[in-house]
Amino acid sequence: MDLHSEMMAIGNRAVVAARKLAGLAVQKKNRILCAMADALEERGDRVLEANNRDMDAARNAGLSGAMLDRLELNSSRVEAMANDLRAVSKLKDPVGKEISHWIRPSGLVIRKVRVPIGVIAVIYESRPNVTADAAGLCFKTSNAVILRGGKESIQSNKEIVDALQAGGAKKGLPDDSVQLITTSDRDAVRELVQLEDCVNLAIPRGGEALIRAVMEHARVPVIKHYKGICHTYVDKSADPAMALRISENAKCERPAVCNAMETVLVHRDVAQSFLPELARQLGARGVEFRADEKARAIVPEMKPATEEDWSTEYLALILSVKVVESIEEAIEHITKYGSKHSDAIITQDEAAATVFFNEIDSATVYWNASTRFTDGGEFGMGAEIGISTDKLHARGPMGLEELTTYKYLITGSGQVRD
């Protein structure tokens, strides 16, 4: 079978599964999730053996230490995957919820009700835990999922999906609810994201290169974020201690994630006092600074920033620093170089915060808090399938509700249109 036919067959099976999933009662779904978790733990040894084979191949291929760490499973990581599935079983199911209803003058009753999206393709990189995570969230919302992980983790992913299928089947998981693409053909993703008649949504999770590759070929809707260039703007009316604490947290707490700060913008009125403290406090945490001329006039030890720095997602302990003349200049900078992910203003001035809230066109905008809070768990969603910097359907952290759509159910008594 050629690749196109193979992907079509997977897509068509997912469509059939999605129809069965749409009718599953929530109690049954929760029992299936727990059975999936149990099976993952029971088959832990097989999963770890498969992961060892992936790790050996990855070492032979010369993958970096960071890559190997992302790929590696151990018994506590397997247990964490299982527990995450159990946690998803406890979350409230949005499917079937009535969003609104109204009655037309004709007597027609219109109800807008949450339903599954249908078939979701999740395309990701080396972390095998995404396999169980994405499968659990899509299943909880009655979506069929087609998983395509990184080639490095193929053996691990196969065992994980086998466990989920076998465990779930005991409690009535419909066939093909969770499918894994196992072909080594790199064009599989291209074929997958062109299956307009089968796939309702593609969610790529990973580095910018992966996401651009998906977008290059996609004909199905894609929700994504390329990167997180998050800013903290320290206003002239900022509480300096708060500004320092938030800046340190936003940069240093976990620099390799998308909601970490990449650039601090400092109002000129407070730059003289703030920047030396910033350099001292974040410098002590190992942060390297790339600064504009105005900032370097205050802290000459900072390296000069290049134009490229302003749009670079360092994912490391590096921080761009710029002194701005006004909040307007800060907003202009964020609009030009930001990624519409998360941006913060630190100020005691409510008027300034309001301007920032209104004019920053990002998924999440903060006033006196760290950008690190952009996360499904931190938002109280209980889970996260990804973060969107797109504007359609879902923005910011995507939890269970964002994995649903709606339909209109309209009840009449014989109404016809004039």
Q: Residues interacting with its own copies, by CB under 8 A? A: 19, 22-23, 102, 104, 108, 110, 115, 117-118, 196, 200-201, 215, 218-219, 221, 223, 239, 242, 245-246, 248-250, 253, 335, 353, 357-359, 361-370, 372-373, 378-380, 390-393, 395-396, 405-418
Nearest distance from residue 239's CB to its own copies, in Å? 7
Smallest gap from Cβ 94 to its own copies, in A, equals 13
Q: Tell me how far apart the alpha carbons of residues 209 and 227 are, in angstroms, rounded to a whole number.
A: 10
User: Strand pairing of 261-267 and 230-234?
Assistant: parallel
Nearer Cβ to its own copies (71/223): 223
Tokens found for residue 312: 């670079």
Least Å distance between CB 411 and its own copies?
A: 5
95 or 180: CB nearest its own copies:
95
Closer residue to its own copies (CB): 269 or 359: 359
The residue (of 155 and 177) whose beta carbon lies closer to its own copies is: 177
CB of 410 vs its own copies, minimal distance in Å: 5
Query: Least distance from C-beta 418 to its own copies, angstroms?
Result: 8
b/e 183-194 (16+ beta carbons within 10 angstroms → b): eeeeebbbbbbb
Q: How many residues does the chain have?
A: 418
Task: State the nearest-atom distance from the C-beta of 156 to its own copies, in Å.
Answer: 29
Which stretches of 282-353 are assigned E, i.e. beta strand?
Answer: 288-291, 303-304, 318-324, 342-346
Strands 303-304 and 288-291, how do they pair?
Answer: parallel
Nearer CB in complex with its own copies: 61/109: 109
Nearest to 265 by CA among 316, 338, 362, 314: 338
* C-alpha–C-alpha distance, residues 349 and 407, integer Å: 43
Identify which of residues 29 and 395 has a Cβ nearer to its own copies in the complex.
395
Give the burial class of 160: count Cβ atoms within 10 A of its Cβ; 0-12 exposed, 13-18 middle, 19 or more buried: buried
